[in-house]
Amino acid sequence: MFRRTKIVATIGPASAPEAMLGRLIAAGVNVFRLNFSHGSAEDHRAVAERIRSAADQQKRTVAILVDLQGPKIRIGKFRDGPIQLHAGDHFILDAAMDENAGDSGRVGITYKALVSDCREGDSLLLDDGLVEMAINEIRGNQLHCIVTVGGKLSNGKGVNRKGGGLTAPALTEKDLADIVTAADMGVDYLALSFPRDAGDVEETRRRYRAAGGQGGIIAKIERAEAVSTAEILDGIICASDGVMVARGDLAVEIGDAELVGVQKHIIQRARELDRFVITATQMMESMIHSPQPTRAEVSDVANAVLDGTDAVMLSAETAVGDHPEATVRAMDRIILGAERTFQIRMLQARAMEGLEKIDEAIAVAAMSVANQLERVKAIISMTETGNTPRMMSRVRSGLPIFAFTPHAQTRRRLAIYRGVETVHFDSAAIDPDEINARAVDQLISMGVVENGDRVILTKGDYLAVHGGTNTLKIIEINRES
């Protein structure tokens, strides 16, 4: 069965060897995430080369996504190892102390402005909310806190202020250097951590383009400010090529009770605004150590699929987990099960009013026909830039969209879009009168269609012209045996 929703897997020690990369690609990974919060530039370059080599060996299209660290606010290190905090304990976050000298009563912080950003009575959440403390008093460079939710605390755990409002800029000095590295690596997507508004996304794009980067920009939605108003959220979505619902930090800042509704809203708005969306964080968390997911994790992944997410992401599960391949296969199985529940002919109306571009009108019209005409089994979109199949993917359908293109970069950029599969196809090397038949023959050889089926095909009158799609054709397959 054709799987529409894509899988993003994070690289780490458990998945970095080339043999494992090949197994993960075979299991169904569409995009690999390189987390620049860890590892050196040389390490990431080497992994990217292994990913491309493994994908080439399997003749598969796999994209590479670089995730910038951003202004992650962390505590320092404990001199004698992890500590245990209990409700009612007094604990100090000290911006002035040595970041390696933490003890049972205090620890340093990497973000010195945290003290000026906070007020007495604020709640701080550490280690993704597993430990919580209230600020009782501010003395100089120290935040004196009372622990409200106890737990184990170890080196470098993240710190969030409940409700957001921290002034840390989205791009750090490390991020600026990493943008240059990502551009030089020729990655397909660059993910910006903790954007506050559209301006942060636009600045990242400018710097990335100035460094020679041609990939798409993904905005990670993880700050309370990013979802504080409809205008700010829509601005971030429109400024990006796609967004990630980064549920860890987002849940910490807005609260668990608000997360589900916000997640569904972000997915809906991203689709309405013609951007792709990734749902991330703890989707299969138990499989870091368990060979099987929990029922709650199955429901979590399935519900994101039913909501229309383009991709679901694995983090620690494939980076450091005990069962990276089994986790990907389980996610693949869950996605297919969820998609079977609604892959029927259902027209998700997309208004034709106000369309200005011919290729956009062709894309919308093709999906409308595909969802209503009987015996249509697939859509072929001959494309240079991938723009037409990207627009097609925004309309709900159970039909596969095949992007036929000669460009490897276009094929990789399309790897993250829901419902889109790519095929290497160079129409410029084929007699114009034979192009349609050769394209259909390709799908027949892939086992996608057979005699009696119909295929919708879109292309431009002129080959190798960007944005030139202006033709929609319905082909009824009738090959002589």
Tens of pLDDT along 278-312?
Answer: 999 999 999 999 999 999 999 999 999 999 999 99
What values do phi and psi take at 375, rounded to 5?
Answer: 70, 10
The three-state secondary structure class of 477 is: coil
- Is-catalytic flag, 74? yes
- The pLDDT of residue 126 is 94
Residue 52 DSSP one-character state: H
Q: Name the least confident of 12-21, 31-40, 344-353.
A: 344-353
pTM of the model: 0.92
Q: pLDDT tens digit string along 362-390?
A: 999 999 999 899 999 999 999 999 999 99
Average pLDDT over residues 163-187: 94
79/56 Cα distance (integer angstroms): 47
- The pLDDT of residue 468 is 81
358/413 Cα distance (integer angstroms): 22
98/77 Cα distance (integer angstroms): 9
Torsion of CA 410, 413, 414, 417, to 10 degrees: -160
- The pLDDT of residue 347 is 46
133/105 Cα distance (integer angstroms): 13
94/139 Cα distance (integer angstroms): 10
Answer for the pair 175, 70: CB distance below 8 angstroms, yes or no: yes
The three-state secondary structure class of 217 is: strand
Structure tokens at 331: 């996610």
Structure tokens at 1: 């069965």
Write the DSSP assignment of 234-276 as a string of letters: HHHHHHSSEEEEEHHHHHHHH-HHHHHHHHHHHHHHHHHTT-E
Answer for the pair 26, 331: CB distance below 8 angstroms, yes or no: no
Residue 303 burial (C-beta neighbours within 10 Å; 0-12, 13-18, 19+): middle
Among candidate residues 61, 281, 388, 469, the one labeled active-site is 281
Among candidate residues 220, 275, 394, 412, the one labeled active-site is 220
Task: Kindly give, in sequence order, each residue whose CB lies less than 8 Å from that of residue 70, ignoring residues fewer than 6 positions away.
Answer: 170, 171, 172, 175, 192, 193, 194, 220
138/255 Cα distance (integer angstroms): 24
Q: What is the CA radius of gyration of the chain?
A: 24
- For the cut 70, the answer to whether the pLDDT of residue 346 exceeds it is no
* Extended beta strands in 36-122, E state: 63-67, 83-85, 90-94, 106-108
Structure tokens at 412: 């990789």
Q: pLDDT tens digit string along 385-424?
A: 999 999 999 988 889 999 999 999 999 999 999 999 999 9
| Nearest residue to 316 (alpha-carbon basis) of 306, 327, 307 | 327
Among candidate residues 33, 196, 275, 459, the one labeled active-site is 33
Say which amino acid occupies 263. Q
Structure tokens at 434: 């034979």
Q: pLDDT tens digit string along 63-101?
A: 999 999 998 889 999 999 999 999 999 999 999 999 899
Q: pLDDT tens digit string along 325-339?
A: 999 999 999 999 999
C-alpha distances (whole Å) from 406 to each of 17, 403, 423 are: 29, 10, 8
Residue 12 DSSP one-character state: S
Query: 10 Å Cβ neighbour count for 414?
Result: 28
Residue 226 DSSP one-character state: G
- For the cut 60, the answer to whether the pLDDT of residue 481 exceeds it is no
- The pLDDT of residue 67 is 98
Query: 10 Å Cβ neighbour count for 335?
Result: 23
- Is-catalytic flag, 220? yes
Query: 10 Å Cβ neighbour count for 97?
Result: 18
- For the cut 60, the answer to whether the pLDDT of residue 221 exceeds it is yes
- Is-catalytic flag, 174? no
- For the cut 50, the answer to whether the pLDDT of residue 116 exceeds it is yes
Q: What percent of the chain has pLDDT over 90?
A: 84
B/e letters for 419-437, b = 16+ CB within 10 Å, e = fewer, are bbbbbebebeeeeeeebbe
Residue 195 DSSP one-character state: -
Q: How many residues does the chain have?
A: 481
- The pLDDT of residue 411 is 97
- For the cut 60, the answer to whether the pLDDT of residue 102 exceeds it is yes
- Is-catalytic flag, 329? no
Average pLDDT over residues 27-46: 96
* Adjacent-strand bridge partners of 146: 90, 134
The three-state secondary structure class of 381 is: strand
| Nearest residue to 220 (alpha-carbon basis) of 418, 25, 422, 37 | 37
Residue 80 burial (C-beta neighbours within 10 Å; 0-12, 13-18, 19+): exposed
Say which amino acid occupies 425. F
Average pLDDT over residues 33-53: 96
- The pLDDT of residue 345 is 44
Q: Residue 343 — pLDDT band, cuts 50, 70, 90? A: low
Q: What percent of the chain has pLDDT over 70?
A: 95
